[in-house]
Amino acid sequence: MQCIACGRIRRVSHQHLGRRLKCNCGNIAVIEEQALIPLPPKNSRQSATTLPPPRVGGEQPFPDDQLAVIESLRDSFRNITTQLSTVIVGQQDVIEEVLISIFCRAHVLLTGVPGLAKTLLIDSISKVLNLDFRRIQFTPDLMPADITGTEVLQEDRTTGTRNFQFVEGPVFSNMVLADEINRAPPKTQAALLEAMQERHVTIAGQTMELPSPFFVMATQNPIEQEGTYPLPEAQLDRFLFNCVVDYPESADEFRIIKQATSGHQPSLNKLLDAEQIQKLQQAVRNVPAADHVIAYARDLVQATRPSGGVAPGFVKEMIGWGAGPRAGIALIIAAKARAVLHGRLHATTADVASVALPVLRHRIVTTFHAEAAGVQRDDVIRKLIEVIRPQPPRA
């Protein structure tokens, strides 16, 4: 029997049916016939992570082809991180968060000071995934047509007729890096918003689909805010994660300096392609999440709303505006992807807690009192994770 909270495998027999079983994680469940899964012999080399997941909420186990896709995603994650470690030193959490957003079919916002290899990271991932990559440098004079494309009047030399021909902009790519996105005016930011949400652009009344898969990786500098246009909440909510790229550790920075000043030129191998990525994205959405896991994500989101009845006292003092329902959706889909990447076939409350920071930090607004006291959004979210505890699953 497999625990739906932590994924631990416990050996039980049919004579224990109807009894309660307490896992080491504290979860208590009733042993039922439909919850039993066959284990390989003790001398078998088969890993427990290759077993079908438990039935959660009436869901059926994975079919064999779907299970193979899930296992390939786990193996691909290991290979990708190994490849990227030859180019990107450290930043393992950021790499994992970016890959989670890709396999969730979502977008990611990278926040960090210049020189932390944000652009190199996105470029390296596109090479490993064998996807088209375009970079857009956002500036105050950037126009929407510079992103989406425009119609150009061209003359046919054989007939002498003139026709408008559409020239695609850089947004027509699998991976788009919006570098320093907050330096462009709102009109230009809005042009990217349609592409992010609808995955198509409208030019001269015609709707044109973007390539699939399609991801937007945006960066912004948290220090210099003069002459910038802060992203509106409606656009921030479109990003699954807000990943903070911090300064490297001492040992990592030593390796960065040594590697950058030598003749080291690592090569990246292509590990996936667009078709495989789309299959992996669909497989992630089929990963089961128990009701108590979804309830935990709901409780975390509702606790960020100061006007709600379940918000702790410090939230009403520190948060002026809480997260919306899209945050709960993001928590669950990201938890599913993280579970698979770590070799588990169902999401747990630990996965939800692990992705809470990048999911919530750009979806809440702190009060003036919190800013004056030097309280950051991450501080409030960490305290929420400590206060809001997951409820045990119903027996």
pLDDT of residue 155: 75
pLDDT of residue 150: 80
Using CA atoms, how far residue 96 sits from 81, 83, 121, 286, 380, in Å, is: 8, 13, 11, 20, 23
Report how far Cα 364 is from the mean position of its chain's Cα atoms.
18
* Four-way CATH pick for 76-281: 3.40.50.10540, 3.40.50.150, 3.90.320.10, 3.40.50.300: 3.40.50.300
- The residue ranges of the chain whose pLDDT is under 50 are 34-35, 37-61
Cα 147 from Cα 149, distance rounded (Å) = 6
Task: Give bridge partners of residue 37 from the DSSP assignment.
Answer: none
Same fold for the pair 76-281 and 287-395: no
DSSP-assigned states of every residue in 245-299: -PPPPHHHHHHHHHHHTS-----------HHHHHHHHHHHHTS-B-HHHHHHHHH
Helix axes 64-84, 92-103, angle to 10 degrees: 150
pLDDT of residue 12: 64
- Residue ranges of domains in the chain: 1-51, 76-281, 287-395
pLDDT digits (tens, 9 = 90+) for 345-364: 888 898 999 999 999 998 88
On whether the 287-395 domain is CATH 3.30.70.270, my answer is: no
Instruction: Please name the residues in contact with 277: beta carbons below 8 A apart, sequence gap of 6 or more.
Output: 102, 103, 129, 131, 213
pLDDT of residue 24: 65
